[in-house]
Amino acid sequence: MFDKLKATEDKFEEISAALTDPAVTSDNERYAKLMREYKSLAPVVEKYREYTSYKKAERDALELIDETGDRELKDLAREELESARENLSRIEEELKILLIPKDPNDEKNVIIEIRGGAGGEEASLFANSLFRMYSMYAEARRWKIDILNANPTELGGYKEISFSVEGDGAYSRFKFESGVHRVQRVPETESQGRIHTSTVTVAVLPEADEVELEIDPAELKIDVFRASGAGGQHINKTESAVRITHLPTGTVVECQDERSQHKNKDKAMKILRSRLYDRLLEEQNSRIATERRSQVGRGDRSERIRTYNFPEGRLTDHRIGLTVYRLESIMNGAIDEIIDALITADQAAKLASDE
């Protein structure tokens, strides 16, 4: 591990020097790439340097214990030695976590797709609740949200909604949200006060750019049609809605949220590219069974991952057995505690698989 850390520090120093080179600073693309790498290595190098400073303190304390005849100095040196070793033990564990291979998609923007499942109108209303929860969370982190496509219902829900979130590390925070979310509550549409169970499916896709995934235009079937929805004066007047079918995979994407056909096509291509990229990732992951076993469940859209019980004010994440009783604040976007627990569980599983 420490050979790897020393090599990481050497690489960090090389990048640091390169970032001051006029030939690099004048090349925006190269500078941006090096700066991203610099930022990703900085926490590891900082922690490694903290480790080496305590390692020196340990050596100095041992040397003083061996060489001095002064009893008081020996006692002080032993205290220093104990403190240094406690810190070394702590930092070693932190370094192990920092050295876990990072998901190459963690820094990407994301596309989130929410669809009402079992439960009819109540599922559509909860889809809107989840959209609101994710939006409030993203806004609190000052990330940009852009609705790509929406199919609203007359009662204010969504049969489905797709939106992008742009911000540093967006995928790393949202990636564990993929799966089936179950809600238990008294529906707004229910007059008898009976608790109803419904489900919503969430898919989280890392946003892929054109460089990462080239799509042959000859493999696309593009249709235009009149938009339809729960209202709006522009509805059904022009053929601005766009449907794109990727013929090799049968993947179909529709966008009708914008008035411009051109904008709808751009948004549809963004979703299509990310869905195809996600499909490639799933194929890769399925070929690496051991890696999948070392991760907290995510990505399987049929897996029930979470229950939101409104009468009890309770949220339970079934993957890690986490239950919290502050559902109101969670629905208002305070989901960091849940996300942090999932990340910690994933890291622990990966560390255990490496031992």
pLDDT-based confidence at 258, cuts 50/70/90? Answer: confident
Residue 354 domain-assigned (yes or no): no
Same domain, 269 and 329: yes
Of 98, 120, 155, the last residue of a domain is: 98
Q: In this predicted structure, what is the pLDDT of residue 294?
A: 43
Does the pLDDT at position 290 exceed 50? no
Of 98, 119, 147, the last residue of a domain is: 98
Residue 171: φ, ψ to 5°: -65, -40
Same domain, 86 and 144: no
Same domain, 160 and 281: yes
Same domain, 222 and 329: yes
Same domain, 129 and 14: no
Question: Which whole number is the average pLDDT over 211-227?
Answer: 76
Task: Find the domain containing 64 and state its range.
Answer: 2-98
pLDDT-based confidence at 276, cuts 50/70/90? Answer: confident
Does the pLDDT at position 66 exceed 80? yes
Q: What percent of the chain has pLDDT over 90?
A: 29
CATH code, domain carrying 239:
3.30.70.1660
Q: In this predicted structure, what is the pLDDT of residue 239?
A: 67
Instruction: Round to whole Å and give the CA distance between 85 and 58.
Output: 7
Same domain, 165 and 218: yes
CATH code, domain carrying 9:
1.20.58
Sequence-distant (≥ 6) Cβ neighbours of residue 299 within 8 angstroms: 178, 179, 278, 281, 282, 285
What are the CB-based long-range contacts (under 8 Å, 24+) for 312-315?
none
pTM of the model: 0.69
Same domain, 91 and 162: no
3-state DSSP assignment of residue 6: helix
Range with lowest mean pLDDT among 40-49, 191-200, 212-221, 346-355: 346-355
Q: Are 198 and 123 in contact (CB under 8 A)?
A: yes
List, as one string, the DSSP characters of 312-327: TTEEEETTTTEEES-H
DSSP 156: S
Q: How many domains does the chain have?
A: 2
When the pLDDT of each residue in the chain is averaged and rounded to a whole number, the result is: 83
Same domain, 165 and 136: yes
Q: Please state, as a whole number, how many other Cβ atoms lie within 10 Å of the Cβ of residue 188.
A: 11
Does the pLDDT at position 211 exceed 60? no
Residue 68 domain-assigned (yes or no): yes
Same domain, 92 and 152: no
Rounded to 10 degrees, the C-alpha dihedral 86/92/93/95 comes to 140
Of 47, 66, 98, the last residue of a domain is: 98
